[in-house]
Amino acid sequence: MKNTLKQVFHSSKFLVGFIIFLAILLTMFIYPLVNPGNPLQMIGVGTFAKPGTYVSLYDATKTSTETLRLPDADEKRLAKLLTNEDRVAMVEWFTAMQISVEGLDISDTDAMIDLWKANYDPAVKPKGMTQAKRNYYKRLNNSIAEIGAAETLIITEKNEETGELEEQGKITKTDYVNTNAVANVKRLPLGTDNFGRDVLKELISAAGTSLLIGLLAGAVATLVGLTLGLLSGYVGGFVDDIIMFITNIFTVIPGFVLLILISYSIGQEQRGATVVALVIGLTSWTWTTRSVRSQVISLRNRDHVNLSKLSGHSLFRIILTDILPYIASYVVMAFILQVSSGILAEAQLSLLGLGPRTTEVPTLGLMMNWAMLYSAHTNGSWWAYFPVILTITLISFSLNLMNTGLDQVFNPTLRD
């Protein structure tokens, strides 16, 4: 046993897979400790907030400031304000007004603004320009004017009694607050989803649920497959015929279809994560049965099995002590594969709208389903679906890598 384990961990493929899997597992356990709370809590009101650090504007204005004189502060302000589209639009204006733009670099904010200030006139109506477009230029002009103007912003509060605005403080361009001093700062490394939920937190919780679904489905499938395979292979005869008949039928009828039919019939209300896992397990045992059976058949006439039979050991004991140890490595490998295909099956089922009911736990498939329903893929919210795809891929990649490693250890002909 010890030797086998040593051999297994010497396989580089197994090791890489194991490390990836372990890293995912550790994240699942550690992250909720660092960042506790309900993963389904809707913290954002809008949909798909971008990834980043969110600082409470209210708290920031109340926080004591430090003065920093950064030489490029104004430049950055301008750059943030003038988007690339604005710059292109400005060049369009120049060309419409027949102003030479030769040698003008649109990333050179200062030059752009100088030229703009020198030439823009809201009263001019270039030929063929729509009213909407002209209004856009007016707004653009206003915001450009604003950057140059106010050196200070004044914070006012409304006096309850008189209704007058009273000055509370000033913010100058050189005022900075330390984010550590601001009372409310929220880091959303993966933004929020369509319901305004923290994607990272949800993802880690979902990966856990999906893995549990995979484990349960894999355990059920392996158990059923193993039992049927052992019975069929060892007992043989009539039992074998019946089991193989059923197995052959279910090998050809796609498990995916059965899964859809059963899930649909169960109905949304009864469909919890556990039920979905059980159903997946019960529709994917055929592979294990077939392979276990063929291995048992090659084992059952070996000398040590015959010896056990002659000694009058019970069927149960022979299977447990003389057959199982020989196919254990195979069963472990089959189990690993079942886990990864179980996770995939849940995801596909959820994408069809037949996954676990949506209110209790997030799963990877449900996250994917929500992201697609709210067309995250067409509106550029990559953080809502790409991490999910990557997580599914990484989990199943690591499991399959471990499986390939095991395969090479136990089947010497495949070794490199």
Partner 1 sequence: MKGYRKYFGKKIVWFLITLVAAVILNFVLPRLMPADPVSAITGKMAQGMTDASAVQEIYKRYEAEFGTDKPMITQFFIFVKNLFRGDLGTSFSQYPRRVSDIISSAIGWTIALQLPAILVGWLLGNLLGALAAYIRKGFDKVLLPVSLFLSNVPAFGMAVTLLVLFAVNWKIAPIGGGYAFDMIPNFSWSFIKSVISHYQLPFWSIVLVSVGGQAIGMRSMSIYELNADYVKYARFLGIKDRKIVGYVFRNAMLPQVTGLALSIGTMIGGALVAEIIFSYPGLGSTMYSAVTAADYPLISATTLIITFMVLVVTFLLDIIYGFIDPRVKAAQFDA
From the list 174, 111, 120, the residue with the least C-alpha distance to 143 is 120
Considering the rule CB under 8 A, would residue 400 count as an interface residue with partner 1? yes
Among residues 264, 275, 357, 410, which is the contact residue for partner 1, using CB under 8 A?
A: 264
Binding of residue 257 to partner 1 (CB under 8 A): yes
Phi, psi values for residue 361, rounded to 5°:
-125, 145
- Pick the piece of the chain touching partner 1 (CB under 8 A) from 230-238, 247-255, 295-303, 314-322: 247-255
Q: Which of 112, 318, 401, 409 binds partner 1 (CB under 8 A)?
A: 401
Among 347, 366, 406, 409, binds partner 1 (CB under 8 A): 347
- Give the one residue of 254, 294, 315, 317 binding partner 1; rule: CB under 8 A: 254
Classify residue 127 by burial, with Cβ atoms within 10 Å: 0-12, 13-18, 19+: exposed
Candidate residues 89, 260, 275, 324; the one interacting with partner 1 per rule CB under 8 A: 260
Tokens matching residue 102: 């030769």
Contact call for residue 404 and partner 1 (CB under 8 A): yes
C-alpha span between 224 and 241 (Å, rounded): 17
Q: Give dist(CA 310, CA 306) in Å, integer.
A: 6
Beta bridge partners of 157: 166
DSSP string, 262-311: HHHHH-TTT--HHHHHHHHHHTS-HHHHHHHHHHHHHHTTSHHHHHHHHT
Under the binding rule (CB under 8 A), the answer on residue 413 touching partner 1 is: yes
- For residue 81, state whether it binds partner 1 (rule: CB under 8 A): no
Nearest approach in angstroms of CB 261 to partner 1 is 5
Contacts for 293 with CB less than 8 Å, ≥ 6 apart: 228, 229, 230, 232, 233, 240, 243, 244
**242 binds partner 1, rule: CB under 8 A:** no
Tell me: does residue 99 bind partner 1 (CB under 8 A).
Answer: no
Taking the C-alpha atoms of residue 256 and residue 238, their distance in angstroms, rounded to an integer, is: 29
d(CA 163, CA 374): 44
Question: Which region among 105-113, 126-134, 220-228, 400-408 touches partner 1 (by CB under 8 A)?
Answer: 400-408
Is 327 a binding residue for partner 1 by CB under 8 A? The answer is: no
Question: What residues from 375 to 394 belong to the interface with partner 1 (CB under 8 A)?
Answer: 377-378, 380, 382, 385-386, 389, 392-393
C-alpha span between 27 and 21 (Å, rounded) = 10
User: Does the protein bind partner 1 through residue 258 (CB under 8 A)?
Assistant: yes
Structure tokens at 286: 């055929």
Please count the residues of this chain forming the interface with partner 1, following the rule CB under 8 A. Answer: 47
Residue 14 near residue 405 (C-beta atoms within 8 A) = yes
Binding site for partner 1 (CB under 8 A): 248-249, 251-258, 260-262, 264-267, 270, 287, 340-341, 344, 347-348, 351-354, 368, 372, 377-378, 380, 382, 385-386, 389, 392-393, 396-397, 400-401, 404, 407, 413-414
